[in-house]
Amino acid sequence: MEGGWPSGGAFLLCLTVNLLLPGRSNTFTINCSGFDRHGVDPAVFQTIFNQKDFRPVINYSIPTQVNISFTLSAILDVDAQLQLLTSFLWFKMIWTNPFISWDPEKCGAISKLTVTTENLWLPDIFIVESMDVDQTPEGLSAYVTNDGHIVYNKPMRVTSICSLDIFYFPFDQQNCTLTFSSFLYTVENMLLGMEKEVWEIADTSRDIVRTQGEWELLGINKATPKMSVGSSLFDQIMFYVAIRRRPSLYVINLLVPSSFLISIDALSFYLPAESENRAPFKITLLLGYNVFLLMMNKLLPASGTPLISVYFALCLSLMVVSLLETIFITYLLHMATTQPPPMPPWLYSLLFLCTSPGKCCPVALWNENTGPGLMSTHLPGLKEPGQLVGKELGSREAELIGGSGLTSTQLADLWVQFSHMMDTFLFRLYLIFLASSIITVIVLWNT
Ligand SMILES: *[C@@H]1O[C@H](CO)[C@@H](O)[C@H](O)[C@H]1NC(C)=O
Ligand SMILES: *[C@@H]1O[C@H](CO)[C@@H](O)[C@H](O)[C@H]1NC(C)=O
Ligand SMILES: *[C@@H]1O[C@H](CO)[C@@H](O)[C@H](O)[C@H]1NC(C)=O
Ligand SMILES: *[C@@H]1O[C@H](CO)[C@@H](O)[C@H](O)[C@H]1NC(C)=O
């Protein structure tokens, strides 16, 4: 009895000291005895659960440090029309709740527990660019460790606004920003940090994204500027996500067929100009190209003018131009074989200059056909008009035309020769234009 007073006094003193020093961490130590035998006693956590409406700090002047990281697990959609990037993230947050701590040695070495997130205070970190409500599933849990760290992982489908430039489609790269910031807490109350280094985030994400989809993750960079709204300053972490399109689908489905069609169009110049096949052949190609464009339209981005559209328009116009050229040459040949007009002297001298040795102009592709007197015999398509010319002009053969000392047959020959020369010249022009435009497009794509 006598020894009871001092020990009771010591107990009272101890209690008083404990009440006076609420900042000491052991004040909030959770009595975890029996966790390993009877499971967790919910009563010991009840005080913490009851505090979940308030930021868990002992001194409100101290900001809560929330460390974040994420793993980009998929790039679901890149919508150039709405300028939206839809991605899937595993988002991780770590912060400290100073009211939670226990001694694992007294609890059968239990050092972490899961707690449903409804019972915990959660940092309100959101993505500034997000254009969709947060669709986090209900009833997730978080890990709580014995020293008060709370580790919260959640899956997030993020539809974020991103300035997309599809000019270089399908060889385009995009650089989208994901800015993590608190919705409410200013820098006095919340600070953001990195849970992992940014290269670790990039490496893990690249490994996961690599296996799937149209887009390839190039890298992730970060910047940490503070955001000021009015007089308040918010902490934020910006991640720049650089992605690149895998172009093989588009190369196979868009570029290869279109290149085939345009090269066939170029080769169709080798069909003899006199044959009646060339124009129908080119019309068929043009039709085929139009069908191709219609079918491939849905593979192209719905908005903007990518370079590839310019390329397609260029191919289409080249095909139209080559068809027009064929019509022009057919007209020239027809004119030459039915009623050749007098040849202007300058044209005659030009023709003479070009066919003489030491030519200044391109050699006609069908030089061997342009010998005198060929039309009516060598050209099945033009046989009738040729014969007509022969008959009509036969009677007046001796008559000299235009005072140039040429018979009408010779004149017709000259015109045919001129047509072939024009054909060759225009073909070369076409080739030069085709080559230069393709080179331009390729150079633009490579920059
Ligand atoms: C912890 O709780 C157990 C019963 O659950 C009790 O026997 C023990 O004395 C408590 N320990 C402390 C330090 O309060
Ligand atoms: C709370 O923190 C601030 C800043 O660290 C400090 O000045 C202040 O004394 C603290 N208050 C108490 C009661 O410890
Ligand atoms: C957050 O990161 C900082 C710096 O890396 C570190 O000092 C702090 O302990 C971390 N906080 C938590 C809760 O992990
Ligand atoms: C993305 O854009 C930001 C700024 O707009 C820049 O700092 C970053 O280097 C860019 N990333 C890549 C990979 O181009």
Give yes or no: residues 25 and 100 share one domain.
Answer: yes
Residue 35 — very low, low, confident or very high, per pLDDT cuts 50/70/90?
confident
Give yes or no: residues 56 and 168 share one domain.
Answer: yes
| CA atoms of 390 and 407, how far apart (whole Å) | 12
> Which of 211, 229, 246 finishes a domain?
246
Give yes or no: residues 273 and 318 share one domain.
Answer: yes
**Cα(94) to centroid(ligand 3), Å:** 8
Q: Is the CB of 240 under 6 A from ligand 4?
A: yes
Q: Which two tokens stand for residue 207?
A: 């490994």
> Which of 192, 215, 246 finishes a domain?
246
Got the DSSP string for 191-225? EEEESS-HHHHHHHHHHHHHTSSSEEEEEEEEE--
- What range does the domain containing 197 cover? 2-246
Which residue lies with its CA nearest to atom 1 of ligand 3? 67
User: Is-above-0.85 flag for pTM?
Assistant: no
List Cα–Cα distances, 403 to 119, 394, 396, 398, 406, in angstroms.
109, 18, 14, 12, 8
Q: Residue 9 pLDDT > 90, yes or no?
A: no
Give yes or no: residues 50 and 188 share one domain.
Answer: yes
Of the bound ligands, which one is closest to the alpha carbon of residue 43?
Answer: 1
Number of domains, the chain:
2
Instruction: Give the Cβ contact number of residue 391 at 10 Å.
Output: 10
Count H helices and E strands in the chain, helices first.
Answer: 12, 12
What string of H, E and C letters represents the secondary structure of 425-441? HHHHHHHHHHHHHHHHH
**Cα(281) to centroid(ligand 1), Å:** 96
**Cα(240) to centroid(ligand 1), Å:** 51
**Cα(107) to centroid(ligand 1), Å:** 11
What string of H, E and C letters represents the secondary structure of 88-101? EEEEEEEEECCCCE
Residue 347 — very low, low, confident or very high, per pLDDT cuts 50/70/90?
confident
Give yes or no: residues 221 and 319 share one domain.
Answer: no
Give yes or no: residues 304 and 227 share one domain.
Answer: no
Give yes or no: residues 349 and 314 share one domain.
Answer: yes
Give yes or no: residues 240 and 262 share one domain.
Answer: no
| CA atoms of 241 and 72, how far apart (whole Å) | 9
Q: What pLDDT, in 10s, does the model give residues 362-387?
A: 444 444 444 443 333 333 333 334 34
Domain CATH number, residue 129: 2.70.170.10
Give yes or no: residues 179 and 284 share one domain.
Answer: no
| CA atoms of 414 and 151, how far apart (whole Å) | 90
Q: Residue 396 pLDDT > 80, yes or no?
A: no
Q: Is the CB of 34 under 6 A from ligand 1?
A: yes
> Which of 227, 246, 265 finishes a domain?
246
Q: Is the CB of 61 under 6 A from ligand 2?
A: yes
- Radius of gyration (C-alpha) of the chain in whole angstroms: 41
Pocket of ligand 3 (CB under 6 A): 65, 67, 94-96, 149, 193
Q: Is the CB of 29 under 6 A from ligand 1?
A: no
Instruction: Give the Cβ contact number of residue 412 at 10 Å.
Output: 27
Instruction: Give the Cβ contact number of residue 43 at 10 Å.
Output: 8
Q: Residue 19 pLDDT > 80, yes or no?
A: no
Q: Is the CB of 62 under 6 A from ligand 2?
A: yes
* Mean pLDDT of the residues in the chain: 82
Give yes or no: residues 217 and 287 share one domain.
Answer: no
Q: What pLDDT, in 10s, does the model give residues 175-199?
A: 999 999 998 999 999 999 999 999 9
Give yes or no: residues 237 and 266 share one domain.
Answer: no
Give yes or no: residues 380 and 365 share one domain.
Answer: yes
